[in-house]
Structure 1
């Protein structure tokens, strides 16, 4: 009998975590392993790209109900989930009031899972060799899946977040292995939870190169720079991605004499803030929000420079995707940037502040030979990390 793996995640909306899950599913050897995939919600633009060799388990209403308005839970009779969500929401408010700070809080999300756990049914009757919880919070996979070994993934920089340490420590302690998507993400987790250091290892994101390159060949008609240099950033419109500072950075580039247009692909709660900043900077014709795109790769292929201006990251999948398509990339000096690329070889790291970021981008845009060299270096490298799947197989060993 082949070893069995259960992978638990939330949905397949547009995002780096979801695309790295596609890569993982494509990299697994299905002749040697049976794989079940459980998604809390069977929704998202990336659902059609799931590898059919992985068995998609049925959606379970209680899990799906975490993403619907609370009033809907009354109509559907999910009163246990409703009570848990209300308790979690109130507890998160109390925690955040007691622990104010500049770092974004993940407490509300953590508590929404913690306090609804008792209402969640078992996911499967099978006993798996390995259960993987691919996206935090990690309560459900550990408590509602039967497995011989459990592994949980880290996709972010824990030192950049506000979180309930005692609650999260209890959650993480239930796992045999804790896998960071970069060395820096692993180290930041060890800084936050030194007592778990022995469980932590690094498993890099695996990317589906064939799919990315195929999709990049499709046409796009709304990124027409008409002689301007085209900059592109892709990601959720949230604090971590720092898109709210793009208008000011772009304004500085224009003031420096550069004819640029900066395109933003994505969606999220920060869109009104970004639009406000565009208006304040007078960049309405320079910073262009393209919104959500099922396929961002034709835009990556068409841009002159890919920019990731993040405040913090675990490891940005979009940067790797742009490099895979042979594009020069610029990233800001967030804490994990050193594990994202080799500065000056397959990308450039610029300062986090707007003035320094603009100066670094301007210097690169004025050096076409350097941009070409970055592109050539990217083309020579393998960014799929497909060999990382072997580390996952070893997680099943005693």
Structure 2
């Protein structure tokens, strides 16, 4: 049997983690032995991991990447704590409004001297979530693959440092053609390494969870209900969603409510914005939910108001549940939706989101057409794994 290592951070609730679970659920375990390396054995999705992969023991050194600086120092790992402080300082020298990417880069790069090497050798090693330093520097494998899930043309990274890391890999996997093109736009020297393997979707799994009975306040809401499932972060544009709903209310659409399943660093800011716009009864943050599908099922419309995406897993899941979908025109939007067929792509702006929602709210026949086309589409794509098997062989 070929030996494969897959490495990622943890199993917190998120689209990347759901796509990893789908991949693991569909892997060919008769021909491949899978070791799963999670830097931290934490997250509500831990219980959703299938039994077949061999979950490796948690490493105290790698777990620090999911700990705060205070927690690291209290645990006695002074070197890692100092590295984190240095990474934060250097990232803060950047003029970017979103410094987290550079901080992550420096945190990993400066930690390398203190991180243990992985002992076993593999036919294939996959780093599933950026930055990819563990597989790049600490794993021996005949073939190494790094996965990209976001639009790299829109995020601020230290490109010189990044290219040094990417060059350690034989292949770079993008989750869509548009995601690939955006990456090449930023790193043209890496073009020959980049291939596309789409996120594996599991329609049966999604629909089964959607039918689970859970306590759901949306059931008693008779308004036109919008749902978004996303991290509460700048990238996902939830702040623009709040302002778009305010525009709609001001234009007389009083019977629209908007629910958001998710959590993240922008929660306090969003709660304050919702209060400022007097939308406490209409824009509702549902927080972290292990099963977002029951909420999706109750909605009249799914909206993805993102500023940028690689390929949003949740959009495909909404289509699997036969929901009309509205997404903003981020760089990779064309890979998510066939405009006017199984969803609508609107202008990436507050006004654009409001106009798109208004169009779908008013046009019942258009919503019905989108639903029919989703029902007639085949969202099974486990054949995408054949591309991965070819790389192993």
Query: Structure 2 length as normaliser, TM-score?
Result: 0.96
Q: 1:121 maps to what in 2?
A: 116
Instruction: Provide Cα deviations, 1:311-354, integer angstroms capped at 9, x if missing partner.
Output: 00000000011111111100011111111110000100011111
Q: 1:272 maps to what in 2?
A: 268
Question: Secondary structure at the residue paired with 2:218?
Answer: coil
- 1:199-238 aligned within 5 A: 199-219=193-213, 220-224=215-219, 226-238=221-233
CA distance, structure 1, for counterparts of residue 220 and residue 73 of structure 2:
50
Moved more, 322-331 or 268-277: 268-277
CA distance, structure 1, for counterparts of residue 111 and residue 203 of structure 2:
38
Instruction: Provide Cα deviations, 1:134-170, integer angstroms capped at 9, x if missing partner.
Output: 0000011121111100000111111111110000000
Instruction: Provide Cα deviations, 1:167-189, integer angstroms capped at 9, x if missing partner.
Output: 00001010000011111111111
- The answer as to 2:89 corresponding to 1:93 is no
Q: 1:84 maps to what in 2?
A: 83
- 1:348-359 aligned within 5 A: 348-359=344-355
Q: 1:339 maps to what in 2?
A: 335
- Give 1:143's match in structure 2, choosing from 121, 131, 137: 137
- Give 1:168's match in structure 2, choosing from 159, 162, 168: 162
Per the TM alignment, residue 390 of structure 1 is displaced from its structure 2 partner at its CA by 0.7
- Give 1:195's match in structure 2, choosing from 185, 189, 193: 189
Q: 2:103 maps to what in 1?
A: 108
Q: 2:8 maps to what in 1?
A: 9
- The answer as to 2:42 corresponding to 1:43 is yes
Per the TM alignment, residue 90 of structure 1 is displaced from its structure 2 partner at its CA by 2.2
Q: May I ask how many residue pairs the two structures share in their alignment? A: 391
Moved more, 209-218 or 126-135: 209-218
Moved more, 356-365 or 7-16: 356-365
CA distance, structure 2, for counterparts of residue 353 and residue 76 of structure 1:
45
- Give 2:235's match in structure 1, choosing from 234, 240, 243: 240
Structure 1: 5+ residue stretches without partners: none
User: Do 2:241 and 2:353's aligned partners in 1 also have CA atoms closer than 8 Å?
Assistant: no
CA distance, structure 2, for counterparts of residue 374 and residue 388 of structure 1:
25
Moved more, 274-283 or 297-306: 274-283
CA distance, structure 1, for counterparts of residue 18 and residue 34 of structure 2:
18
User: Do 2:219 and 2:298's aligned partners in 1 also have CA atoms closer than 8 Å?
Assistant: no
Per the TM alignment, residue 255 of structure 1 is displaced from its structure 2 partner at its CA by 2.8
CA distance, structure 2, for counterparts of residue 112 and residue 8 of structure 1:
17
User: Do 1:19 and 1:207's aligned partners in 2 also have CA atoms closer than 8 Å?
Assistant: no
CA distance, structure 2, for counterparts of residue 392 and residue 226 of structure 1:
44
Question: Secondary structure at the residue paired with 1:129?
Answer: strand
CA distance, structure 1, for counterparts of residue 169 and residue 12 of structure 2:
26
- 1:11-30 aligned within 5 A: 11-30=10-29
Structure 2: 5+ residue stretches without partners: none
Query: Structure 1 length as normaliser, TM-score?
Result: 0.95
Q: 2:287 maps to what in 1?
A: 291
Are the structure 2 counterparts of residues 114 and 277 from structure 1 closer, same or farther at C-alpha, using a change threshold of 3 Å? same
CA distance, structure 2, for counterparts of residue 266 and residue 234 of structure 1:
6
Q: 1:31 maps to what in 2?
A: 30
Question: Secondary structure at the residue paired with 1:223?
Answer: helix
Per the TM alignment, residue 65 of structure 1 is displaced from its structure 2 partner at its CA by 1.5
